[in-house]
Amino acid sequence: MPVDPQFKPLLDDPAMQLRVPPADVTPAMLREAARARRTAPTGPAVHATRDISVRGAAGPITARVYYPSATPDLPLIVYIHGGCFILCDLETHDELCRSLANSSGFAVASIEYRLAPETPFPGPLEDCYAAFVDLAARGGELGFDPSRLAVCGDSAGGNLAAAVALLARDRHGPALRHQVLLYPVIEAACDSSSMREFESGYLLSREFMRWGWDRYLSSAADASNPLAVPLRAASLAALPSATLITAEFDPLRDEGECYAEKLSAAGVPVIGRRYLGMIHGFMSLPRVTPVAARAMADVAQDLRAALA
């Protein structure tokens, strides 16, 4: 089917296309420009939110915890935001995390990890894993059940969420029951069929992804490291069950679906859903397409089945 026509005004706006910035524009300048354009929050109300300090790899970082109700001992979803490893923060994903908490009925903790290129691989991943371990250890203090944990991330955050699951397995960390990967960044080569077919004009571009990978990886050797590029993992056995969401018109579609197939081949229970007519990041656009809410309800259903 064609791209959902409700995306046409967005796709027709050149300012909405993610392109490589001029050489004199730094990632820090991009972040500041994005903050300057930010409007007042419009996300749904939740019972309570709480910004807390959690352990990162090199010192404290911030996490925002969303509580959909006053129910004690809720399961916890650790959320890792996207942004090509370089952009975005707690505020850009506040609405999505509120919707995830309300839809699932579970607590959500969104992680403010350090960004590339100032902090390249493995720094952002180690921040996310350290925060995950710290949150799991503080369940009683924070009001959730540390025996019912999931990790979730979108785009580059999906990469980090998948890598957190690998680390939790290999380091014998807190037990994860489920991983939710929303149109994840899984392969550094940027050479899949969907990456070539949708390389420009669909918000996320192939050149922008290459630019992001170049700033995230510390060396060429990192492109073979499964903690940076989960698709390169020698084994995906004994990982938690997974939900993997892809969008029909997303450059990242094929690598995400390839990862779902590899998980399934390793014996991991996987629910894979491709949403037709959708573009990258569609779940953050509920005022553009009603499919965002439908996908959120589907994800929440999977989480309840895994954690409730």
Active site residue 155: yes
Q: What are phi and psi of 281, to 5 degrees?
A: 80, 10
pLDDT of amino acid 37: 84
Q: Write down the catalytic residue from 110, 134, 280, 284.
A: 280
CATH of the domain at 119: 3.40.50.1820
Active site residue 81: no
Say what percent of the chain tops pLDDT 90: 95
The structural domain count of the chain equals 1
Query: How would you class 12 by CB atoms within 10 Å of its CB: exposed for 0-12, middle for 13-18, buried for 19 or more?
Result: exposed
Rounded to 5°, the CA angle 17-18-19 comes to: 105
Domain that holds residue 150: 5-307
Q: Write down the catalytic residue from 89, 250, 254, 302.
A: 250
Active site residue 250: yes
pLDDT tens string 194-232: 999 999 999 999 999 999 999 999 999 999 999 999 999
Which one, of 290, 239, 298, 302, lies nearest residue 274 by Cα?
A: 298
pLDDT tens string 41-75: 778 999 999 999 999 999 999 999 999 999 999 99
Q: Write down the catalytic residue from 99, 104, 110, 155.
A: 155
Cα gap 81→67, rounded to integer Å: 18
pLDDT tens string 160-196: 999 999 999 999 999 999 999 999 999 999 999 999 9
